[in-house]
Structures are given as structure tokens and as C-alpha cells.
Amino acid sequence: MRKYARKMKRIYLDYAATTPAHPEVVKAMQSYYSNAFGNSSSIHSYGQETREAIEIARKKVAALINARSEEIIFTSGGTEADNLALKGIAYTSKDRGNHIITSSIEHHAVMETCDFLKEQGFRITCVPVDKYGLINPEDVKKAITDKTILISIMHANNEVGTIQPIAEIGKLAREADILFHTDAVQTVGHIPVDVNEIRADLLSTSAHKLYGPKGVGALYVRKGTKITSLLHGGEQENRRRAGTHNTPAIVGFGKAAELAQKELQHESKHLTSLRNKLINGLQKQVEHIYLNGHPTKRLPNNANIRVDFVEGEAMLLSLDLEGIAISTGSACSSSNLKPSHILTAIGLQPDQAHSSLRLSLGRETTEEDIGRVLEVLPQIIARLRAMSPLTKSSMQEKTNA
Amino acid sequence: MRKYARKMKRIYLDYAATTPAHPEVVKAMQSYYSNAFGNSSSIHSYGQETREAIEIARKKVAALINARSEEIIFTSGGTEADNLALKGIAYTSKDRGNHIITSSIEHHAVMETCDFLKEQGFRITCVPVDKYGLINPEDVKKAITDKTILISIMHANNEVGTIQPIAEIGKLAREADILFHTDAVQTVGHIPVDVNEIRADLLSTSAHKLYGPKGVGALYVRKGTKITSLLHGGEQENRRRAGTHNTPAIVGFGKAAELAQKELQHESKHLTSLRNKLINGLQKQVEHIYLNGHPTKRLPNNANIRVDFVEGEAMLLSLDLEGIAISTGSACSSSNLKPSHILTAIGLQPDQAHSSLRLSLGRETTEEDIGRVLEVLPQIIARLRAMSPLTKSSMQEKTNA
Amino acid sequence: MPNIWHQYSEKVMEHFENPHNVGEMENPDGIGHVGNPMCGDIMELYIRVKDNIITEAKFKTFGCGAAIATSSMVTEMVKGETVEEALKISNQAVAEALGGLPPVKMHCSVLAEEALRSAINDYLNKSKKED
Amino acid sequence: MPNIWHQYSEKVMEHFENPHNVGEMENPDGIGHVGNPMCGDIMELYIRVKDNIITEAKFKTFGCGAAIATSSMVTEMVKGETVEEALKISNQAVAEALGGLPPVKMHCSVLAEEALRSAINDYLNKSKKED
Ligand SMILES: Cc1ncc(COP(=O)(O)O)c(C=O)c1O
Ligand SMILES: Cc1ncc(COP(=O)(O)O)c(C=O)c1O
């Protein structure tokens, strides 16, 4: 099996983890390594040309989310954007209050930052989600106190793909005069995002999730919103994020944003159709398979399924031997062995969480790829279910048949 | 004048600001954008291959400073490394003490971080420097109190190039059982740096200063040293720095470190000789030119000169029109108009600081380049001195002659 | 393409892809049931004992590749051993027989050792009662 | 290679490269001396006045490109103006005559305005005394 794996066509279905940089993105970056390599802080012509390239990229990133250029702070990625948003607002607003509202299904970059802020004396309220992973805006509203300085609710969840009602949350935050941050790392470039429509004051994004390069992201900060720096030092980014500009990556991000804006509409339709084919095909062939997350309010490319009685990493490994790359909610390799906090937050039992797979589609996914998964995955499930002590004997008979 | 500038060979003498990525570095990075693009946190084969590439790079960076792989934390650059070092140790050690010792000539990344920590209740002592920019280890020793948790003294200064006696400072820090951090952004890859010889517990470096890519740096943290994260989130970098790995940049950093280790010896000799030719040539031709920084304890590639009676940015602009890129201690374009804190720390008057130029040499600098500067710069100085109200009349006669 | 899953030895991969002794056993002499769903690993191990010698071992496992491979390996290792010898099989021994395990996966070998002990204890308890 | 220094207009570059009216003046009717070394700009502006009309203006400047260009421009602008008209020349007018200045350089035009006022005031003070 393994022997052949090396020769077969590899199928990547983990676009939610990261995407390959678009060839045009790579091309756009090329000249900024060794040719137009100047430090954008330098006054001379080498600095001038990179400064210009950065500002063009900033315009493109701003355009993708309907922001103004000066509202974009380039960071080293989504994690830094989330850290900057939460810590930056917390430190700036600590005289006004010490209470932050977030949800139980945030990415680690938000969750762990909240844990850190808790140690620093801030109070964190985590609003729950329903079985689809949906937040109820009413719960957010109820959590507001006169000490609340920030509401941070992600746009769409990275694991189960559920899209939150953030326009409603943004509206109620605005009405209560509380800053609203959304981690839009999974949505920007994939579904329409308009900072004014959703009334976000801060919004995180990351280039490598939208066919841009790794190592660059952005925090949108609405004009007039004060924020304490996370990286102190030079005067870059209007003194809000120090550090020599990563010009090639920023240029690449700009190009990726430009391409995403053009292709977004078509792509989301295409991926939704392929994704549904995948989910329906699996459910037709295999019993005891369930979709995690919301059936319709979900990212176009996300299929997160629970395959009862089988551990996720064993499936992942088996698929990888067939050249198919996916991800799992199991954490049999992580340091604490606990399953994903997101899957338990939507009410899954630990074994169900350990049995969950995320298949996330992208630009290069084809009908044939989906066909191949529909051929290979049911066999893998059958094989592993036959080994599992959790498989009900009735179940087992069917699977073996 | 300007018309011709566009056609002439450009001469880059601002290597201290940033360096072009070495062609081999660019080549090494190439396949990690769209081919081996996996997220290093992914368990599948795409993740595996990037994980391996990152660990190979880590070994190379570690080797350059005689550290162990597990002592290297990859960051987004020198600024992040400095911020992580200072805030990370401050937060971890705040129960033990709240006093930090640093110097008056640190880079903004250290200086502004100290200012931030001051607001957070830490006490900062800035030890002074002499007229060469040298710190006296005795001053550091005297500043130590029983509340001192960290000493942060840069290895070599980015502006005047003075190399500090950090082995002595490291020794006395160790004796006093206080952690020692050094910002070695200007030295790693240019002069020998050995974390054990200098007894550093933490050391910052940045790839783009040694012909590596922008957007990546590293913090060395001695084994056993606890440090609070700056970026919270995923489990990357042994839970000490969250965020999807910037694989191409990390791989590029590894390659740059490998090349630097090979070329360091030869290069520092070569650049010292060119640099001395430049300084001597200028001093021979032009009166009232003085070297800033230490005459011998200085970076091989650094020439920082004070050209009395002429403002730096006017010289910079004139040189740029001739295709020559340099930097200045003047800050006529910065937001506060104050001259460099480093130049005032070594005792220069404001007008003298505004009259200072930094020419920093690098791999592609040739004898011809130096010849060209020696031809062009004296003319520019003469022209501008003739316009300057500061030029003494006696002086002026000579210059006009 | 680099060697995929190369934290896993060839031996681990062999046992993951073609595990030995999979399945339930009718009327086993001892059953071990260990692990918990929280950690994502559950092992059931069955042994048949004749004249103090383990003649047959089978398993069912819910778990990752290493969990399956260690289950397979431990059931191979006990066959033909006396009960006393079998009790001496440590998790390290299982891991070593598999050509080593990645550090994050050593807990799987611990689980295999526990499953075996649990099955033997079950056998010993039962035989005590029969005595 | 992109347009270097393109925050500077063509006009600024012209006046920086070939500044008009550079130099000291013998026995000027008014001298303006403004700026301070802290900010890196020092201007000296000399005027000659005949029948209330500024007939000649010269400058010496320690400062950046914009400081030199604004000095050059302001000395051009005052020539032939009455003292009263000259006093109305604002820093914006100087910046506009140069085709605009980057925001970080507007302080240079302020300095030029101040230098001119200072020179005129010096002239007015002197002529008062002579009265
Ligand atoms: C929802 C979400 N937030 C934040 C991040 C972190 O972004 P980055 O990997 O660019 O640091 C990710 C992806 O890893 C994500 O999916
Ligand atoms: C001494 C020193 N420290 C820190 C930095 C900051 O490094 P980076 O530009 O990689 O953020 C620099 C360069 O800018 C430097 O010269």
C-alpha cells in the first residue's frame, strides 16, 4: 500500500489548514527578495520602491474587506492579528473596564490570548454554541456588563465551518458602544466580508488561508480606534506594529487579495457543489456518518464528518497512505490528548470528537478527487470499524457485508 | 542630474538596514510556496515534509551561534525576538523582581519595549555609554539590585557599529544570577557569535540582516529558561510562539545561516579593508569629518561619519540622485524631528547628530563603489557647505577653493 | 515526496496496515478492557490460556495507528508465553519490538501493557474463583 | 527604478539641485535667523529693501532638501514685493509654489515663512530706529 502511495496523485483536502500560494502570487513576490529588497523605512530610492509596493498591497487587502488603506495593519499572520486585537484593546481600554466576551469555539489564537488576559486580571465570558456550532446573539447581549470593553466572535469556525451571525453581533455591540472584533481568518477571500456591513471595529485575516504566502496577515482597525502595540520598536505601520516590513509577503498578500476578490463568487459556488457531493456520497455509502456544524450556514469548502466507532487519526493515516491529506478533531498526537474544544463545545462526546474528520476543499480540488475519496474512505472506515471495540455487532455485520 | 541617475549603476551602502536575500536563499525557499506548502502542524505527509524542513533550518541557525536546536524560537523578525525576550522574561519573573537594566543606545525594539514595560510597573535602568558608544561593564554591575531580573545589552550598535564587551557583561550577569539578553541582530552572521562564550541566556537575531529573507528572526533561549509567550495560540515552537510556521522564510533563514557561517571570516576581513579605505579617503579629502563610534571595536562593514555644517538628509538625497543609497542619523522625516538617540547618547550635539551619515558595506560592495563615493561625496559636501549658515567663514574659503 | 509518517517505523506501519490477531474471541479465558474515550484510545484484549501458557490472543482497538500497531504487537508477543513471563512484558518492550515509537505515542504502548495485564488479571481472578 | 524621491515634486527637486539666491549679503537691510539645531533646520535670510520694495533676497540654510527648496522659493517669491505684500506670504503659499510638500516636510515651509517675517521685522525695527 505504502509503496504505491509514493507514485499516486496526491489529493490535498486540508485547505482550511493552509493553501498553496497562487503561482501569480509567487511571481509577484519574486523581485522583492534580491532586487527591490530595500528596507521600507529607508529614505533612499531602495526604500521608496518597497514603500510604494507595500501601499499598493495595502489598498488591495483593504478593498477585499471594504476598508480604507489606513485601517490595515500588516502582521506576521492571523495569530498575531488576534493577539494584537485582544491585547491591544485590553491594554488600551483597561481604565474603562476589564470584561471581554468571546465564544467557546474560537481558534486557539483567541482562546489562549483570553486565557493570558485572564491571568492579567481581565474577566472573560465565553458564550456557548448550539449543536450546529451557532452562537445566539441574545447570549452575547445578555453577557454585556458596564465593564465590557470588547466582544470577540469569530466569523466562521475553522473546524466545523459554521458561519456566525456576526452582522447581528456587530450591531448589538455598536448599540452598546462596545468594540467588536471578529477573527475572519477562515472567511476573508472565501465568502464576502464587508467590515461596514458587519460593523466590525477589528478584524483578523491571514494570507496563507487565501492562496497568499505564509508569514503575513492583517488586522483591520476601524479609523479612530486606539490600540496598544504588541510589537514595540520602529515607526512602521503608523507606529502600531514595529518590525522591518516583510515586503515580499505583503506584496504576495496584496496579489492574493486581488485574485480572491475576482474568483470568490465562482469559487464558492463550485466548492459548495463539490463539498455537497462529498458529504452526500459518504452518507449514502456509509452508515453512522454525521455532519458536524451547520448544514447550510457553513463555509463552502468545509466538510466535517463524524465517523462513529473509528478514531480519526487512524483514518487520517490510512488516507495519507493513499495520498489523501485531511485533518482530524482527534488529538492523539497533541500534548494533552484532549479532543478539539470546538467539537466538545457543539456537544460531541469525547469518542465522537475523536472520530471526526475535516475535509476542506480548495481551488485545485476536482470531481475526480471527490470520486477517489468516495471510493477509498468507505473501505478504510469498514476496515477500521471491524477492528473497533465500539462498533456495535449489528453495525459490524452490515459493514463486513 | 536626476535624469542620469536612472541609468547609472546603483550603489547600495545601507546593508545595516537590510540585505538582499542571497540567490541561494531564494532558491532554497522556492519549493515551499506552492509545492511543499503544507502546514507544519498537519499530521499528514504535507505537514511532515515542512516539519522536517523547519527542523533542518533550526539546526543551521543554532549552529551559527553554537546553540542547540531546541533553544531556537523562530519569530517574525528581530523586533519580535526583542519584544519576546523582554516581555517574556518580565512577565515570567515578575514575582522575583521588577528591575531591568539596559543601555542608552539600544535599538528601538528594545528601547520602546522597555518604555512599555515601564508603564506596566517595571523599573528600567539605562546605563550610559562613552563617546565611542561603549558601555562600561562596571556601570552594569553597579546598576544591579536585588530586584533585577534581566540585563539587556546589545551586541553591536546598528548605527555607530560599536561592539560591546558583552562577554564581560554576560559573565557578571551569570555571577549575579540574573538573566542576560543581547540583541545580536547586527552581529550574527557578520562576526563570530557564540552564546556560550558570551554567556547569553537570550539572544535576538534577524534573517534579513544576513542575506536571509525578511519576516523571520529567532530568539535563542537557553535551555531551562522559562519565558512567557508573546503570541498565544497554537502549539508551534514548543508552545512558546504560536502561529502557522512561515516555512519558506524559515528555510531561507537556515540557508542564510549556513552560508554566513562559511563566508563570515573572509567577508569581515574584506569589508574591514574596504570600510577603512572609505573612511580614510573621506578624511583625507574633506575637513571636519569625524568617525562616530569606536575606531577598532566596530562592525567590519560600518562607517558612520559626522560631516560638520551639513544636514544628513540633504547629503542622503544628493547621494541618492547619484544612485548611492546610504542612511542618516538625521530624522528630518520622522514624526518628532529629533535626531537619533544613539548619536546624542555618544555626546553629539543635535546639529552634529543631524550631520551624520551611515555608510554600511556588504557582499556586493566593490573597490569601484568605494572609489565612486570618494569622488561624489566630497563634491556634495562642498556644495551643501557653501549653502550652510553653520559653515565657518574660514572653513568656507577652503571648501570653495 | 519524503517518507510519509516517518515518525513511525516500518514495523509500526506493517502492523497498522496488516494487524495480527484482530477480532473478538469466543469464551476467552481472560479479557482486558482499558483506555477511555477522552484520550481517544480504547483496547480490548482477549487471551486463551492452556496449562499456564497463553495459546491465543486477540484484540479490538479504537485508536490511532500506534494504538493499533501496539495492540497487534502485544498479542503476538504473548503467544506461547507463560502467564508469569507475559506479566513481565513492559510497554518499552512492545515499543522496542515495533522498532520504537515517537515520544507522543508512547502512551499507546502503555495502554497495550495495561490491556495485557488487565486480561491476565482477569484470567487469574477467574481461575482463583474456579479453584 | 521608480521615480526616486517622488514625495518631492519636480519643482522641489529643481530648487534643491539648483537653489536660487544662495549666499550671504553684504550690509543687508534685514536679517532673519530662525530654526534650531535640535530639529535639524537652520535658516538665515537676508533682504535688501528700497522704497518699501524688496529688491534682493538671499539665504543660507542648514537643512534637508525641502528646507533648501523652500528657502530658495521664498527668496524668489519676495523679490519685487512691497514689505506689506511680503508679510502676507504664508507657508502654504511657499509649499504651493513648489508644487506641494510631503506632510512630514510642511514644517520646512513654516520655517521659510518665519525666516522671511524675521528678516522683515528686523528691517522694520531698524528703519524705526533710523526714523
Ligand atoms: C480561525 C483562525 N484564526 C486564526 C488562525 C491563525 O492564523 P495563522 O496561522 O496565520 O497564525 C487560524 C489558522 O491557523 C484560523 O483558522
Ligand atoms: C540592532 C537591531 N535590533 C533589532 C532590529 C529589528 O529587527 P527587524 O527589522 O528584523 O524587526 C534591528 C534592525 O532593524 C537592529 O539593527
**CATH code (residue A30):** 3.40.640.10
Q: Does residue B282 surpass a pLDDT of 60?
A: yes
C-alpha cell at B345: 547618547
pTM of the predicted protein model? 0.95
For residue B214, give the ligand nearest its CA: 2
Structure-model confidence comparison of residues D106 and B218, the more confident one: B218
Residue B10 sits in the same domain as residue B41: no
Among the candidates B233, B260, B287, a domain finishes at B260
SS3 D49: strand
> Is A212 near ligand 1, meaning CB less than 6 Å away?
no
Residue A203 sits in the same domain as residue A154: yes
Query: How many residues does the structure list for chain B?
Result: 401
Q: Which residues pair with A55 in a beta bridge?
A: none
pLDDT of residue C7: 75
Domain range for B56: 23-260
**Any CB–CB contact under 8 A between B63 and chain D?**
no
B395 found inside a domain: no
Q: DSSP strand E in B165-270: where?
A: 179-183, 202-206, 217-221
pLDDT of residue D38: 77
Among the candidates A260, A295, A317, a domain finishes at A260
Residue B328 CA to its chain's centroid (Å): 15
What strand order describes the sheet that includes A202-206? A72-75, A217-221, A202-206, A179-183, A148-152, A99-103, A123-127
Q: Which of A309, A320, A333 sits opposite C62 (nearest CB)?
A: A309
B376 found inside a domain: yes
Q: Which of C100, C22, C31, C30 is nearest to C63 (CA)?
A: C22
Pocket test for ligand 2, best of B206, B219, B253, B302 (most atoms within 8 A of CB): B206
**Any CB–CB contact under 8 A between D103 and chain A?**
no
**Any CB–CB contact under 8 A between C103 and chain B?**
no
pLDDT band (50, 70, 90) for residue B2: very low
Residue A83 sits in the same domain as residue A213: yes
Contact between A154 and A124 (Cβ < 8 Å): no
Among B35, B45, B239, most C C-beta atoms within 10 A, so best to mutate, is: B45
Amino acid in the structure at residue B197:
E
pLDDT of residue D4: 40
SS (H, E, C) A101-128: EEECCCCHHHHHHHHHHHHCCCEEEEEC
pLDDT band (50, 70, 90) for residue C38: confident
Question: What percent of chain B is modeled with pLDDT above 90?
Answer: 90
**If you measure CA to CA, which chain B residue comes closest to D10?**
B2
> Is A356 near ligand 1, meaning CB less than 6 Å away?
no
Among the candidates B208, B242, B260, a domain finishes at B260
pLDDT of residue C1: 29
User: Read out DSSP for A182-237?
Assistant: EE-TTTTTTS---TTTTT-SEEEEEGGGTTS-SS-EEEEE-TT-----SS-SSSHH
C-alpha cell at A13: 483536502
Residue B33 sits in the same domain as residue B12: no
pLDDT of residue C2: 31
Please judge whether A311 and C16 are an interchain contact, meaning their C-beta atoms are less than 8 angstroms apart.
no
Stretch (H or E) spanning B122: none
SS3 B198: coil
Euclidean distance between CA atoms A395 and A398, whole angstroms = 5
Among B379, B388, B400, most D C-beta atoms within 10 A, so best to mutate, is: B388
**Which residues contact ligand 2 via a Cβ below 6 A?**
A 243-244; B 77-79, 82, 107, 109, 154, 158, 183, 185-186, 206, 208, 217
Q: Does residue B400 surpass a pLDDT of 80?
A: no
Contact between A378 and A395 (Cβ < 8 Å): no
Question: Between chain A and chain D, how many beta carbons pairs sit less than 8 Å apart?
Answer: 13
Q: Where are the alpha helices (DSSP H) in A30-77?
A: 31-34, 45-64
Q: Smallest CA–CA separation between A361 and chain B, in Å? A: 14
Stretch (H or E) spanning A379: helix A367-387
Catalytic residue, chosen from C6, C10, C17, C39, is: C39
Residue A188 CA to its chain's centroid (Å): 9
pLDDT of residue A292: 98
B321 found inside a domain: yes
Q: Ligand 2 mean position to A350 CA, how many Å?
A: 46
| Least trusted range by pLDDT, from A246-250, B6-10, B137-141, D34-38 | B6-10
Tens place of pLDDT per residue across chain A (401 aa): 344 445 578 999 999 999 999 999 999 999 999 999 999 999 899 999 999 999 999 999 999 999 999 999 999 999 999 999 999 999 999 999 999 999 999 999 999 999 999 999 999 999 999 999 999 999 999 999 999 999 999 999 999 999 999 999 999 999 999 999 999 999 999 999 999 999 999 999 999 999 999 999 999 999 999 999 999 999 999 999 999 999 999 999 999 999 999 999 999 999 999 999 999 999 999 999 999 999 999 999 999 999 999 999 999 999 999 999 999 976 555 556 678 999 999 999 988 999 999 999 999 999 999 999 999 999 999 999 999 999 865 455 545 54
SS3 B290: strand
Q: Ligand 2 mean position to B109 CA, how many Å?
A: 7
Write phi, then psi, for D39 (nearest 5 degrees): -90, 0
Contact between C54 and C48 (Cβ < 8 Å): yes
Residues in contact with B392: Cβ distance below 8 Å, sequence separation at least 6, in sequence order:
B309
Q: Does residue B331 surpass a pLDDT of 90?
A: no
CATH code (residue B303): 3.90.1150.10
Side-chain half-sphere CA neighbours of A101 within 13 A: 28
**If you measure CA to CA, which chain B residue comes closest to A47?**
B325
Residue B15 sits in the same domain as residue B27: no
A395 found inside a domain: no
Amino acid in the structure at residue A187:
T
Residue-wise pLDDT tens digits, B21-37:
999 999 999 999 999 99
The mean pLDDT of B89-115, rounded to a whole number, is 97
Q: Smallest CA–CA separation between D7 and chain A, in Å? A: 9
C-alpha cell at B280: 580614510
Residue A194 sits in the same domain as residue A314: no
Please judge whether D42 and B389 are an interchain contact, meaning their C-beta atoms are less than 8 angstroms apart.
yes
A398 found inside a domain: no
Q: What sign does the CA torsion over A352, A188, A243, A121 have?
A: negative
Residue B143 burial class via C-beta count within 10 angstroms: exposed 0-12, middle 13-18, buried 19 and up: middle
Write phi, then psi, for C126 (nearest 5 degrees): -60, -45
**Any CB–CB contact under 8 A between D6 and chain B?**
no
| Least trusted range by pLDDT, from A60-74, B371-385, C36-50, C54-68 | C36-50
The mean pLDDT of C58-69, rounded to a whole number, is 95
Per DSSP, B22 falls in state P
Contact between B111 and B86 (Cβ < 8 Å): no
C-alpha cell at B3: 535624469
**Any CB–CB contact under 8 A between B55 and chain C?**
no
Q: Which of D100, D33, D47, D38 is nearest to D70 (CA)?
A: D100
A377 found inside a domain: yes
Q: Is C64 a catalytic residue?
A: no
pLDDT of residue A394: 45
Residue A355 sits in the same domain as residue A324: yes
Q: Smallest CA–CA separation between B394 and chain A, in Å? A: 33
Q: Which of B346, B358, B342, B344 is nearest to B303 (CA)?
A: B358
Residue A57 sits in the same domain as residue A9: no
The mean pLDDT of B166-184, rounded to a whole number, is 98
Please judge whether B321 and D61 are an interchain contact, meaning their C-beta atoms are less than 8 angstroms apart.
no
Q: Smallest CA–CA separation between C4 and chain B, in Å? A: 5
Residue-wise pLDDT tens digits, B232-269:
999 999 999 999 999 999 999 999 999 999 999 999 99
B394 found inside a domain: no
Please tell me which chains touch D, using 3 or more CB pairs under 8 Å as the contact test: A, B
Residue B305 sits in the same domain as residue B206: no
B162 found inside a domain: yes
Residue B250 sits in the same domain as residue B335: no
Please judge whether D17 and B321 are an interchain contact, meaning their C-beta atoms are less than 8 angstroms apart.
yes
Number of domains in chain B: 2
pLDDT of residue B272: 98
Residue B315 sits in the same domain as residue B241: no
Residue A192 sits in the same domain as residue A204: yes
Residue B302 CA to its chain's centroid (Å): 11
Taking contacts as CB-CB distances below 8 angstroms, the residues of chain A near B122 are none
